[in-house]
Amino acid sequence: MDLAGKVAWISGAGAGIGRASALLFARSGASVMCADVDAARAEATARAIEETGGRARSQSVDVSDEQAVREALDATAGELGGLDVVFNNAGVGGAGWDRTNAINLSGVFFGLRHGAELLAKRGGGAIVSTASIGGLGGLWSVFASEGPPDDGVAAYVAGKHGVVGLTRQFALHYARRHVRVNAVAPGYITTDMTDRIRAAPGVERAAAELHPLGRFGRPEEVAEAALFLASDRASYITGVILPVDGGYTAR
Ligand SMILES: NC(=O)c1ccc[n+]([C@@H]2O[C@H](COP(=O)([O-])OP(=O)(O)OC[C@H]3O[C@@H](n4cnc5c(N)ncnc54)[C@H](O)[C@@H]3O)[C@@H](O)[C@H]2O)c1
């Protein structure tokens, strides 16, 4: 029970990596606030947790709205009696420049800004954000393309590099106030986000082969890494970007 007695806020908890993390964090003893722009999906995750004996609530939050993020974090502390872990996980792929950066970069910044301050005032805590292998290098396109890069891919890579920078900056800033700040950097994971890639058999194989382990990762495998960074087992770890990528970034 790595998170026994703790309260965790998870954005993007309605699907994919966020949902898997909400379920795992709850199984590990945390009370979980499932935040998502899709209220019904957030509610479904919270219900799944409660049905298996865990404790959870849900919130409808668009992380690109700073005021909404601040209120959501405050409400979590009020409703669940504390706040120990903030997981800035919500993100999109395939959107244009402005929308991608509003969610993937500004959304994480808002979670860090308000989450870190709230945790510091409470005496400490842990923040995890979801970066990407696209935050540690450019993404090799698995689709044939000509002309300029798709602005969604460019925004995705720029934003995820930004998440890496923000993670390091906030880790330094909050170290003496006992808030650890880290990120996971997933490779290709079997979630809705990679549907388009996995729909085309040749493309799916090519994408899988980019990872030395030869396959996509599962959302549960990313959740395990996030749990580690969120828990006291990682008590001497701050400012790191942990690849969960089947060896993609080792090449
Ligand atoms: N799937 C991958 O291959 C992969 C790889 C690297 C990084 N990531 C990152 O992992 C994170 C989670 O992605 P996923 O693969 O689980 O995707 P997903 O599409 O399965 O889930 C994303 C969730 O975020 C929610 N969301 C979207 N915009 C939001 C907003 N503005 N505010 C609040 N919630 C919002 C969606 O409703 C959805 O429930 C993202 O940051 C993504 O960039 C994914």
Provide the residue-wise pLDDT of the chain in tens; the chain has 251 residues: 899 999 999 999 999 999 999 999 999 999 999 999 999 999 999 999 999 999 999 999 999 999 999 999 999 999 999 999 999 999 999 899 999 999 999 999 999 999 999 999 999 999 999 999 999 999 987 776 677 767 789 999 999 999 999 999 999 999 999 999 999 999 999 999 999 899 988 899 999 999 999 999 999 999 999 999 999 999 999 999 999 999 999 99
Atom number of ligand 1 nearest to Cα 219: 16
The reported pLDDT for the residue numbered 144 is: 66
Residue 21 Cβ inside 6 Å of ligand 1? The answer reads no
pTM above 0.95, yes or no: yes
Nearest CA to ligand 1 atom 14: 16
Other C-beta atoms closer than 10 Å to the C-beta of 154 total: 16
Q: Is 11 in the pocket of ligand 1 (CB under 6 A)?
A: yes
pLDDT at 89: 98
Count CA atoms within 13 Å of residue 146 on its CB side. Answer: 0
User: What spacing in Å lies between the alpha carbon of 90 and ligand 1's midpoint?
Assistant: 5
Determine phi and psi for 245, rounding to 5 degrees.
-140, 20
| Half-sphere exposure of residue 105: CA atoms within 13 angstroms, side-chain side | 19
Atom of ligand 1 nearest to the CA of 42: 39
Residue 83 structure tokens: 């706040």
> Distances from the Cα of 208 to the Cαs of 23, 40, 87, 215, 225, in angstroms?
26, 32, 27, 4, 20
107-121 vs 66-80: helix crossing angle, rounded to 10: 40
Could you tell me if the CB of 101 is within 6 A of ligand 1? Answer: no
Instruction: Please report the atom of ligand 1 found closest to the CA of residue 133.
Output: 6
- CATH code of the domain occupying 7-250: 3.40.50.720
Q: Which atom of ligand 1 is found nearest the CA of 62?
A: 32
Read off φ and ψ for residue 147, nearest 5 degrees. Answer: 80, -165
| The pLDDT of residue 147 | 74
Ligand 1 binding pocket includes 61 (Cβ within 6 Å): yes
| Residue 176 burial (10 A CB sphere; 0-12, 13-18, 19+) | exposed
Distance separating alpha carbons of residues 243 and 128, to the nearest angstrom: 13
C-alpha of residue 176 to centroid of ligand 1, in Å = 31
Q: Ligand 1, residues 10, 24, 191: which to mutate, most atoms within 8 A of Cβ?
A: 191
What is the three-class DSSP state of 36?
A: strand
* Residue 175 identity: A
Mutate to test the pocket of ligand 1, among 21, 130, 242 (most ligand atoms within 8 A of CB): 130
CA distance 101 to 105: 5
Q: Is the C-alpha dihedral spanning 149, 151, 156, 160 positive or negative?
A: positive
Which residue minimizes the CA distance to atom 7 of ligand 1?
132
156 catalytic per annotation: yes
Give yes or no for residue 62 CB within 6 A of ligand 1.
yes
**The predicted structure's pLDDT at residue 107:** 99
For atom 42 of ligand 1, the residue with the nearest CA is 91
Could you give the angle at the alpha carbon of 187 between the alpha carbons of 186 and 192, nearest 5°? 85
